[in-house]
Chain A
Amino acid sequence: MMTALPTLAVKNAKKPAWVTGHGKLAAVYLAPGMLGFFIFIVVPLVASLVISLFDWPLFGTPKFVGLENYTRMLTGDPVFWTVLGNTLFFAVCYTVLNLVLALAVSTWLHNLGSWGPFFRVLFFVPVVTPMVANALVWRLMLTDDGVVNSFLANFGIHGPSWLSNSQLAMGSLIAMSLWQGIGYNIIVLGAGLNGISPNLLEAARIDGAGAWQRFFRVVLPMLSPSLFFCTVMTIIGSFKVFTQPYLLTLGGPGESTNTIVLYLYRNGFSFDKLGYASALAWALFVIVMLITALQFSQQKRLVNYDN
């Protein structure tokens, strides 16, 4: 009796978890999800990597070209660098403005009292409204004779072509995107603010800290996990910007609002260059992965998880 127990324990320890009683059950429950993950994520991922090595029209015979699509992207296609620059510009401007404004608004709402929830809902409504509908409304507002210019005309101001002027078109897209997306960060940061113990702020006040000091020395460090989450998600989202330029400007005028996902979409589905589009998708993946990895590498230094 005394020797049997250790033998059984050794036997069970050798078996993988998924063949034991509860492990089997877990495997059965996980199987549909894993199957879906494999079919809809892993297979397309590998397929796109393979396709990126081919000159692959949707119809017609694919031709193996090795790394030619990547070489062309990096050295022979000036549009790639333009759309990459546009995407970076959008990502930086959108992320910075989004976080600063969301932080300001959520702080304001946090101190607003009973009207806070009402305005929070108001800011969140655009997030749950379909992007396509929002974009079409903004397009109507920003046309040469749209609502915005009609409003400016009341003050004798001849409004510019918001969507057709190379200098203003990207700014218009950023403004529309902010209106659409800022509510999400307001909710997340608001939840973070609610989680800060009033005792901490009270202690800081007793220690003689002013409003700005309390904000920068207490609120911001305690809010850093929420801010980190918002920053990572907002940057990833901004690199994938597509609907706004597709519906508002079609990437124009010229290439001024063409973004990497719009360019990728066009190459794949309008210009019938699936191989090149796949190479662009992988370039986007690598860029986003590097930026996200950089953010996570700084997480310990910048984010305070100490309660």
Chain B
Amino acid sequence: MSNNRVTGRLLTAAAVAALAAGTLSACGSSAGSSSDGGKEASSMYTWISNENDRAQWQAFVDAAKKKDPAFNLTLEGPSFNDYWTKVKTRLSSSGAPCIITTQAARAQELKDLTVPLDDMVKSNNVDVSMYNKAMIDGLTVDGSLRGIPYDAEPVVLYYNKDLLSAAGVKEPTPNYTTAQFTSDLKALTKGGVTGLAVPPGFGAGPGLPLAFANGNEPVKDGKLDLTNQGLVQDQQFAFDLAAKEKVATAPQASDGSDVPEQQFMSGKAAMIIDGPWMYDTLTTKTQGKVGIAVIPSTSGQGIGMIQGSAFAIAASCKDKETAFKNIMKITTPEVVGAVGAARGTVPSVESAIKDWAGNKPATDVAVVEALLKSGRPLVTTPTWNQVETNFTQYSGDGFRGSKSAQEILSTIANSAK
């Protein structure tokens, strides 16, 4: 009797353990992994902050489907801010997507996660020269191409025409100088309105786009060059707009890019430096008419800072050839043109710019086209995420005047070697 009871308990325990093991293994395989990697080759890991992002990626799929009705792409990913941290851990797990989104500015940082595309470009007879040259340069790491760009977006200055008109300020010209910019911001700052809305990040500006306009870049010969005098002076100029001139509100480290954008859209700030990818949102949701201008420079002959994104193939991908073919389906001139028309991203292919231009004012289109011609890509280093993170953390001190640009950029340069 006693033995039977013990045996019964042992069987029960074994059944529970087997059930637990089964549940664990089922959970473990829930991510799904196919042996041939075919499913992953049609999956993309990207930033999906909101429905707007999801709609943009869906626009690529919809446009590609016009040529290939069987085409599909499954999407997954976190918000843009979390993407650069999470992409590394996601790609190191099983069943990771084959296609990932990258940027020219992050190509160096993600080089160990992505594969060179040169051989596949050659074997598939892809004409890379049709894509924006600055983007191709930015996506080239150690001599090999790491992504096919879908956009090429020179950072621009947005301004609220109504607020400028009310303050008696003339709209910026193609030869906009930093002296005139400061003077305009002073005139605009009154009655609860500040001249400029600023985010806490480095690449998001305003310091780095202003430095680019003056020909000063953060990387030289593949190494961080944050303490070159030109860059330091331009960043100090940006800090002083809030700290000394009081024509901008100092941001908080935890502010996302949406905080200054909300300030601009609600009419609390008259200008903002941002990417063309925000064109549709800012022109349609801002209280007042919006125009765009070049980033001001000391001489008035500025250089555009081109940012843009691309599709790359994860190093862990088992079926790289299929993944590459999928990427090529969503980066044709027709597709990037259609997405540009529908979602406002500036196409990476020059011949598709006309689709993006659509019904936009000719002056706005001219600004972007001029900056695309003069622009240079934001090329960074493998430690760029550390630079961005530290700058965001320290920028509050800079915009409040408690630390100088020299101090902040030196500290970051030392820690992100």
Which residues of A does B touch, CB under 8 Å? 21, 24-25, 28-29, 31-32, 57-60, 79, 139, 143-144, 161, 163-166, 247-255, 258, 266, 269-272
Contacts and interface: CB of A to CB of B under 8 A. Distances in A.
Contact of B89 (A58, A139, A143, A144): A58
B392 A269 contact: no
B396 A59 contact: no
Interface in B394-412: 394-397, 400, 402-403
A139 B254 contact: yes
A251 B14 contact: no
A31 B17 contact: yes
A24 B402 CA distance: 68
- How would you classify the secondary structure of chain B's contact residues: helix, strand, loop or mixed? helix
Contacts of B113: 59
Interface string B1-39: 000001001100110110010000000000000000000
B85 A270 contact: yes
Contact of B249 (A58, A144, A251): A144
B315 A59 contact: yes
Contacts of B9: 25
A28 B250 CA distance: 62
Contacts of A250: 253-254, 389, 392-393
B10 A28 contact: yes
Nearest to A142: B252
Most buried by A among B10, B253, B385, B395: B253
A250 B81 CA distance: 12
Given A31-B17, A59-B88, A143 B386 contact: no
Interface size on B, as a range, is 35 or more
A144 B263 CA distance: 13
Contacts of A266: 386, 389
B325 to A, nearest CB: 25
B233 interface: no
Contact of B88 (A58, A164, A255): A58
B290 to A, nearest CB: 23
Nearest to B114: A59
A29 B92 CA distance: 34
Interface string B354-389: 000000000000000000000000000011011001
B169 to A, nearest CB: 25
- How would you classify the secondary structure of chain A's contact residues: helix, strand, loop or mixed? loop
B6 A25 contact: yes
Most buried by B among A31, A79, A143, A252: A252
B392 A59 contact: no
Contacts of A253: 253, 393-394, 396-397, 400, 402
Most buried by A among B386, B395, B396: B396
27 contacts: A24-B10, A28-B10, A28-B13, A58-B92, A59-B88, A59-B112, A143-B252, A144-B249, A161-B250, A161-B400, A163-B254, A249-B252, A249-B253, A250-B254, A250-B389, A250-B392, A250-B393, A252-B395, A252-B396, A253-B393, A253-B394, A253-B397, A253-B402, A254-B403, A269-B85, A271-B385, A271-B386
Given A60-B112, A144-B249, A164-B253, A251 B383 contact: no
B252 A255 contact: no
B415 interface: yes
A252 B394 contact: yes
Contacts of A248: 254
Contacts of B91: 59
Interface string B250-261: 101110000000
A248 B88 CA distance: 25
Contacts of B415: 79
A166 B394 CA distance: 11
A250 B254 CA distance: 6
A252 B392 contact: yes
Contacts of B315: 59
B386 A255 contact: no
B409 to A, nearest CB: 13
Given A25-B6, A32-B20, A164 B13 contact: no
Contact of B386 (A57, A163, A252, A270): A270
B17 A251 contact: no
Given A59-B88, A270-B85, A29 B13 contact: yes
Contacts of A270: 84-85, 385-386, 389
A166 B14 contact: no
A269 B249 CA distance: 31
Given A161-B400, A269-B89, A270-B386, 18 more contacts: A21-B6, A25-B13, A28-B17, A32-B17, A32-B20, A57-B112, A58-B88, A165-B400, A166-B402, A251-B253, A252-B393, A252-B396, A253-B397, A254-B403, A266-B386, A266-B389, A271-B385, A271-B386
Contacts of B85: 269-270
Contacts of A166: 397, 402
Most buried by B among A21, A60, A164, A247: A164
Contacts of A252: 253, 392-397
B393 A251 contact: yes
Nearest to A77: B415
Interface in B72-105: 84-85, 88-89, 91-92
A230 B383 CA distance: 42
A165 B416 CA distance: 25
- A-B pairs, top 8 by smallest CB distance, nearest first, are A253-B396, A59-B112, A252-B253, A252-B393, A250-B253, A28-B13, A164-B396, A271-B386
Nearest to A25: B9
Nearest to A256: B397
